[in-house]
Amino acid sequence: MSVSQADVMTAMSKVIDPELHVDLVKAGMVKDVRVTGDTVKLKIELTTPACPMKGKIQADAEAALKAVPGLKSFDIEWGAQVRGVAGGSGGALLPGVKNILLVGAGKGGVGKSTVAVNLATSLAQHGAKVGLLDADFYGPSVPLMTGTADKRPVSPNGKTLDPLVAHGLKIMSIGFLVEADQALIWRGPMLHGALMQLVRDVNWGELDYLILDLPPGTGDVALTLSQSVRAAGAVLVTTPQDVALADVVRAKQMFDKVHIPVLGIVENMSQFICPHCNKSTPIFNHGGGHKAAEMFGIPFLGEIPLDLKVREAGDSGVPVVVGHKDSPEAKAFQDVARAVAGRVSAQSMKSVPLPVMQAR
């Protein structure tokens, strides 16, 4: 019994991406189908290299091909092409950026920058092109946390700046441009101008994701960024205790007012696991992030344990997902990165026309 390309495409149309809720053919993920007698070669192109459902999709695709009558062997090539969210790409301001993601918090001290750095680094480890902009003007910590505090960006033409590169990321921060002991006593217009320069006048190039580490709260910088860039979505960082919920409410309301979707909530410092007895202790309570996510009807992206390695990694300039990549903390950050990437892909699927399937 001969196998046709139509048989293969029919089989693939029965495989549903669990995150996107659409079949692989309709999503334009099946490419380069080549049938030779009773064998077939094809490519499945995921919507992000950090796809959280790749294992499920792979198992379902293989099962579907095994069920094709007459097909004796198959070879699937796996790839990924990040798609931009309509209205969430860089547009004229950042033409090479597919998705701008904001990482924010309603208050300081919740580990927002730690989440931003490890989120960005995890996405880069999966193979995505990632930039990280430290927009926390009053407390720029990204230079220290990425080991770039003693470096300075250069200008190739006297008009623009090349970002620094570390851990697979393109990085820019106001901390590179002012002295470490210099206090920034700037009002709104000065903040706005400097912020737009860091966005507009940096040679970001082609990026799948540009992560913006916002200052805590809902002040000038957060509002300026939220209103000036077309963000694909925001990630909110909180701690487990109930008192943090009020701050999450304010941050969520700010993003709602500027029409930026909240991709979900990350609960940082969720629990302390004793390195000697492995006993878990909820130092700051537990479940506040879950509660906030349920309250707003938005996804819970994951929880990050409280551990000394995370602090030490930040102080040493080597993110925990790099320096301790097999640790529970690193794996938790990697899970969050996959969840964020999946949410962005889902947003993209809702907002832009589906691509045309390519087969030959």
Q: Is 110 annotated as a binding residue?
A: yes
Q: Is 257 annotated as a binding residue?
A: no
The torsion region of residue 124 among left (phi > 0), alpha (psi -120 to 50) and beta comes to alpha
Q: What whole-number distance in Å separates Cα of residue 200 and Cα of residue 209? A: 16
Backbone angles phi, psi at 84, to 5 degrees: -85, 145
Q: What whole-number distance in Å separates Cα of residue 58 and Cα of residue 53? A: 9
Q: Is 113 annotated as a binding residue?
A: yes
Q: What whole-number distance in Å separates Cα of residue 290 and Cα of residue 301? A: 9
CA dihedral 239→301→339→97, nearest 10 degrees, is -60
C-alpha Rg value of the chain to the nearest Å: 22
Burial of 167 by CB count in 10 Å (0-12 exposed, 13-18 middle, 19+ buried)? buried
Cβ proximity of 159 and 141 under 8 Å: no
Cβ burial 81-110 (10 Å sphere, 16+ → b, else e): ebbbbeebbbeeebeebbbbbbbbbbbeeb
Q: What whole-number distance in Å separates Cα of residue 316 and Cα of residue 298? A: 34
Q: What whole-number distance in Å separates Cα of residue 251 and Cα of residue 107? A: 9
Q: Is 112 annotated as a binding residue?
A: yes
Q: Is 109 annotated as a binding residue?
A: yes
Which is it for strands 22-23 and 300-303: parallel, antiparallel or unpaired? unpaired
CA dihedral 61→63→65→69, nearest 10 degrees, is -160
Cβ proximity of 213 and 237 under 8 Å: no
Query: Is residue 246 classed as helix, strand or coil in its secondary structure?
Result: helix
Nearest Cα neighbor of 226 from 202, 256, 264 is: 256
Q: Is 111 annotated as a binding residue?
A: yes
Instruction: Please report, in range form, the residues annotated as the binding site.
Output: 106-113
Instruction: Please report, in range form, the residues annotated as the binding site for ATP.
Output: 106-113
